[in-house]
Amino acid sequence: MPGGLPGISLHMGRNLFKAIGNEILDLVYPPDIYCICCGKIIDFTRPYRLCDDCMETMKWATGRTCAKCGKPLSDNDPMDICYSCREHAHAFGKGYTCTEYGTAEKSLVFSLKYGSRTDIADTIGEIMYDRMSAEFGAEALRAAFDLLCPVPVHYERKSMRGYNQAALIAEAFAKRAGIPYRGELLVRTRQTGAMKGMNPAERRENVRGVFEVRRGREELIRGADILIVDDIYTTGSTIDEAARTLADAGAGSVDFISFASGADVVKS
């Protein structure tokens, strides 16, 4: 292979270099020594590998949350459903989130998605497990869902990045929760444009028909109570399309959990 490694395809070579890069990152950022958000030196007692300042900066979803999508409710929103959910119906049953999407949350998500910091996925999976255990209790959580699956990315994007960040988070969460992980339930059939700057209607159109059930997985889905895992929830267009696809395939119920949700923006 001219210009390449003998006997190694471009895809395999890229993944090899990513693996080597991750080994180097483990040396540069050993677990429990540096805060995964700001890089400050910490000790192993710090929860979620976050320093005290970043723990305080994180916008934890510990107050009032939307009864439908789970995002933290604005202080000036008197309702128990966020403004977005009042405006738009959703295909999922109920949503849960761990944080509101702010500066610290963005730093973690971007380091995971674009900085090859795959170790952060395990920490986010731990955060999700603690969030859902607090909501359900450990035993009830295990019994509440038959399957757990991530929002899939298109194979071209996964090939370029080397992984699906939602899948890594979902695996880490499933391992702790004892819920069967099925990363292969859905397939993303095409690349979609960036959602930033789109209004809700444009977002929904952008992802319309983008998912399909992977061939041979229909029996796993039929009648199952499924929890979808993703890193960020904003208007719900992506989760809705995934939930609708699973419901059309006969799922008993479809809920979701995200690491971070957009703010509850109340319009006058």
Higher local confidence (pLDDT), 199 or 265: 265
Residues above pLDDT 90, as percent of the chain: 73
- Would the pLDDT of 149 be above 70? yes
Q: Which residue has the tokens 């339930």?
A: 185
- Would the pLDDT of 190 be above 50? yes
Split at pLDDT 50, 70, 90, the class of 25 is: low
User: Within 10 A of 7 (CB to CB), how many other CB atoms are there?
Assistant: 8
Per-residue model confidence as pLDDT tens digits over 76-119: 999 999 999 999 999 999 999 999 999 999 999 999 999 999 99
**3-state DSSP call for residue 256?**
strand
Instruction: Give the pLDDT of residue 192.
Output: 77
In this prediction the pTM is 0.85
84's CB contacts (< 8 A; 6+ apart) are 69, 71, 200, 235, 236, 264, 265
Domains detected in the chain: 61-261 (3.40.50.2020)
Rounded CA separation 22/195 (Å): 29
Split at pLDDT 50, 70, 90, the class of 121 is: very high
User: How much is the average pLDDT of 207-212?
Assistant: 88
- Would the pLDDT of 174 be above 60? yes
Rounded CA separation 166/148 (Å): 11
197's CB contacts (< 8 A; 6+ apart) are none
Instruction: Give the pLDDT of residue 44.
Output: 85
Rounded CA separation 8/147 (Å): 36
Instruction: Give the pLDDT of residue 202.
Output: 74
Higher local confidence (pLDDT), 18 or 166: 166
User: Exposure pattern of 93-108 as b/e (b: 16+ CB <10 Å)?
Assistant: bbbbbbbbbeebbebb
Which segment of 11-20, 74-83, 113-122, 167-176 scores lowest on mean pLDDT?
11-20
73's CB contacts (< 8 A; 6+ apart) are 63, 64, 65, 66, 79, 80, 82, 264
The answer to whether 34 touches 41, Cβ cutoff 8 Å, is yes
Rounded CA separation 43/33 (Å): 6
Q: Which residue has the tokens 């880490």?
A: 172
Q: Which residue has the tokens 């229909």?
A: 218
Instruction: Give the pLDDT of residue 22.
Output: 52
Nearest residue to 142 via CA among 174, 98, 169, 97: 174
